[in-house]
Structure 1
Amino acid sequence: MVCHFARSSHSSCHNRRDTTLMKGAFALTVLLAATTAYYFYIPLPSTISEPWKLMLIDGVFRGIMHVGRLADSLGICHFLHVVNFSMTLDAPDSVSSENLLVSDTTVGGVNARICQWTGGSAGELRRAVVFFHGGGWALGSGKKGAYATLCKKMAKDLKAVILSVEYRLAPEAHFPDQFEDAFQASKHFLQPEVLAQYSVDPERVGVSGDSAGGNLAAAVAQQVATDSSIPVKFKVQSLIYPVLQTLDFNTPSYQQNRNVPILYRPLMVWFWLEYLDADRGFLPAMIMNNHTAQDLEQVDPFRAAVDWTALLPPRFTEGYEPVVQAHGTPRIVEEVPGLLDVRASPLLAEREVLTQTPRAYILTCEHDVLRDDGLMYGRRLEEAGVAVTSDYYEDGFHGCLTFSFWPTFFTVGERALRNYIAWLDQNL
């Protein structure tokens, strides 16, 4: 009996210990789940496409940013290098396939990737697109990830030649380096003998890009259109949620979407400061539009170009008021001349320049701080006599077009990609 009692007590202790461990594990699981949910959960508009998936992607991106900033603070490396490395972890996608030749080269001294459709009859001329990837002038590559896949798809679907320009990136490069790379590569590619080398029809060449790449595409389209030394001109410009101006960070879309992933307003302003090699301490003042206050006369010639009360349809401005400061911070404009340079902010270009640019396609998304940049540019182009196709997605968000491939597939991204390529197919 004694032995039986001892065994029972021992078993009872094991049971209590197991129960305690199970309760502890359960509590830890609940805590981790709550912490994860707290980190990933962000209130999003009900009309945004697949919100939980977007929250997850945004949480991962924010985590990478935190790791990058930690590495930067410890003096290991610049945080942009960490972020860019994480975005291009996959192996270089340089594999050619049937009727598609992929090669890495230099064009006008600038690194580039060329995706060539090789099908069709011998001697048949193809159309071409010069493409600039996005990433805040600091991230991304046309040789890896979604951009490599996108350019190959464009080459196949359009039976075309796609020149993806690998322009220099921050933090090593700053404006006007990225623009100069984009322009020089375009200028070289547009030479008749170079187009002939790739069997490209000189009457059917377009320029395109997304986000910061859309900025470069718009700026290059203006420069090519007005440069008399370039005999071949772009037939079309195709801009995907382009960033186009630095004078107003309180447009309705900046106000409405300031906290919507994946491009938050402070992050977009930070990208501008990095691109223009400006003091990052200017960020709070610029968010308040102190750099364009009424007492800063040097801004006056450009104000009409970003007057969204006149340039945007009423449905986008309802409920929003302009943020205009009476007195500003003149030091910002004095130390950062790129703020008023049309090569950095194509929306500021004069009408005489805009009227020479080619037919345009501008894709914008409702849940994007850059929505109004694209809409205002479309309106200014139309006023200058340029034909514009505006492709607007009520459920779209910044970056959605490149989220049309596995594993970051969104239905709105697939629709945007399909319509983007269809427009090029019909107009190029």
Structure 2
Amino acid sequence: MSTETASSNLTVNPLAYVQVTLNPDGTLNRDRFVFPDTSASPDPIPSAGPVLSKDVPINPSHNTWARIFLPRHHARSCSEEKLPLIVYYHGGGFILGSPASNIFHELCITLARELSAVVVSVKYRLAPEHQLPMAYDDAVEALHWIKTARDEWLVEHADLSTCYLMGSSAGGNLAFHAGLRTSTSPEDLEPLKIRGLILHHPFFGGTQRTPSELRLANNHILPLAAIDLMWELSLPLGVDRDHEYCNSAVNGSSKLSEGVDKMRSLGWRLLVTGCDGDPLIDRQVELVKLLKEKGLRVVSDFMEGGYHIIEAIEPDKSKPLVLTLKSFMSTTVAGQDAVGPPNGISMQIAA
């Protein structure tokens, strides 16, 4: 079905839904963003909770920064053992959010606590003021910043040789494209060494509607009208949604093929998670199939029910995701391509 035909069935006002207003100069007023901000908690005192966090600048000229999360018990430990590093990119359709947004802040706390990891959550530039690929530029710049950063939490506690790129929603798209870029010259990131990518309900699209998009067109969490708005504001002027930034499953992209080939040669593994209550599920399944066909080691965990980034919006629903991440990060057996939460319903994609 064409985009135009499907649009006639949409009942959601996208600007009102995402609680922004479009200014005459093309910028967004985000004053009423639905997810409030949370302050960092850098002090190593019991009231700070089980995970410490602090904000550090990356590129002041671009106003990019990172929120670093460190398990409090490790901050106080005398152990020389270092923790795996997760570089996390937040969601928000490329137009909203930051590491301070409460849902992403709380998810990063969960990751740091439950996975015993150092988490670096990256603030990248948002569209429409900064359209793609600027967010991709920021995502990669953050990795180069991490490799040379003298921040004591990173120096003393993060194992740069065990790094995972992770993102939720648009952040999953960012993690994927950052991986494509950096895989072509991994030596430039040393001593940072990427082991794999974790795409949590990644945000991809295309010009033709998928069955899941049509089935969930007026979904209460991520309606199709909001998806349309996000892509309209974030993609470069003059391109459609079959551009490689949006539709990475389109065959014929030389950058995609080169990057995937490099990921395979480096032994990277990918985890893609999602659920069939998300309008984007068909896009995610399609991407997994494409990457597997290209020989990449892909782990897929698609559950029944739920909704887009449910684990971030409802932290008490994050246990299955945590179990999946633990299994994925601890698995080193070559060729293993399927894990799932033992207590959840998992629909795996056959190779």
TM-score normalized with structure 1 length: 0.62
What's the offset of the Cα at 1:361?
0.8
Instruction: Return the letter of the residue paired with 1:373.
Output: R
1:192 and 1:202 in contact (8 A); partners too: no
The equivalences for 1:54-203 within 5 A come to: 65=16, 68=19, 80-84=29-33, 86-88=34-36, 90-94=37-41, 96-97=43-44, 100-107=51-58, 110-117=64-71, 118-119=74-75, 120-191=77-148, 197-203=155-161
1:214 and 1:241 in contact (8 A); partners too: yes
1:380 and 2:286 matched: no
RMSD across aligned positions (CA): 3.3
**Larger proportion of helix:** 1
2:162 and 2:193 in contact (8 A); partners too: no
What's the offset of the Cα at 1:82?
3.4
The equivalences for 1:315-326 within 5 A come to: none
In structure 2, what is the Cα distance between the partners aligned to 1:427 and 1:128? 16
1:207 and 1:237 in contact (8 A); partners too: yes
Paired-residue identity, %: 24
In structure 1, what is the Cα distance between the partners aligned to 2:259 and 2:38? 42
What's the offset of the Cα at 1:218?
0.5
2:27 and 2:129 in contact (8 A); partners too: no
2:212 and 2:279 in contact (8 A); partners too: yes
The equivalences for 1:200-211 within 5 A come to: 200-211=158-169
Q: 3-state SS of the aligned residue for 1:356? A: helix
Query: If you compute each CA radius of gyration, which structure gives the higher value, 1 or 2?
Result: 1
What's the offset of the Cα at 1:420?
4.2
Instruction: Return the letter of the residue paired with 2:244.
Output: V
| Residues 239 and 156 of structure 1, relative CA distance in 2, 3 Å threshold | same
1:342 and 2:293 matched: no
Instruction: Return the letter of the residue paired with 2:239.
Output: V
Q: 3-state SS of the aligned residue for 2:189? A: coil
Match of 2:259 among 353, 356, 369: 353
Q: 3-state SS of the aligned residue for 2:318? A: helix
| Residues 105 and 250 of structure 1, relative CA distance in 2, 3 Å threshold | same
Deviations 1:275-324 (A, max 9, x none): 0254xxxxxxxxxxxxxxxxxxxxxxxxxxxxxxxxxxxxxxxxxxxxxx
In the other structure, the counterpart of 2:230 is 271
In structure 2, what is the Cα distance between the partners aligned to 1:340 and 1:216? 17
What's the offset of the Cα at 1:427?
4.2
Match of 1:233 among 190, 193, 217: 193
In structure 2, what is the Cα distance between the partners aligned to 1:210 and 1:191? 26
In structure 2, what is the Cα distance between the partners aligned to 1:218 and 1:427? 20
In the other structure, the counterpart of 1:401 is 311
In structure 1, what is the Cα distance between the partners aligned to 2:18 and 2:214? 28
2:14 and 2:225 in contact (8 A); partners too: no
Q: 3-state SS of the aligned residue for 1:385? A: coil
What's the offset of the Cα at 1:193?
7.3
Match of 2:213 among 254, 264, 270: 254
In structure 2, what is the Cα distance between the partners aligned to 1:366 and 1:225? 30
In the other structure, the counterpart of 1:216 is 174
What's the offset of the Cα at 1:340?
5.6
The runs of 5 or more residues in structure 2 that have no matched partner are 1-11, 333-351
Instruction: Return the letter of the residue paired with 2:198.
Output: S
What's the offset of the Cα at 1:416?
4.2
In the other structure, the counterpart of 2:276 is 366
In the other structure, the counterpart of 1:52 is none
Count how many residue pairs are aligned between Structure 1 and Structure 2: 301
Q: 3-state SS of the aligned residue for 1:397? A: coil
1:392 and 2:285 matched: no
1:155 and 1:161 in contact (8 A); partners too: yes
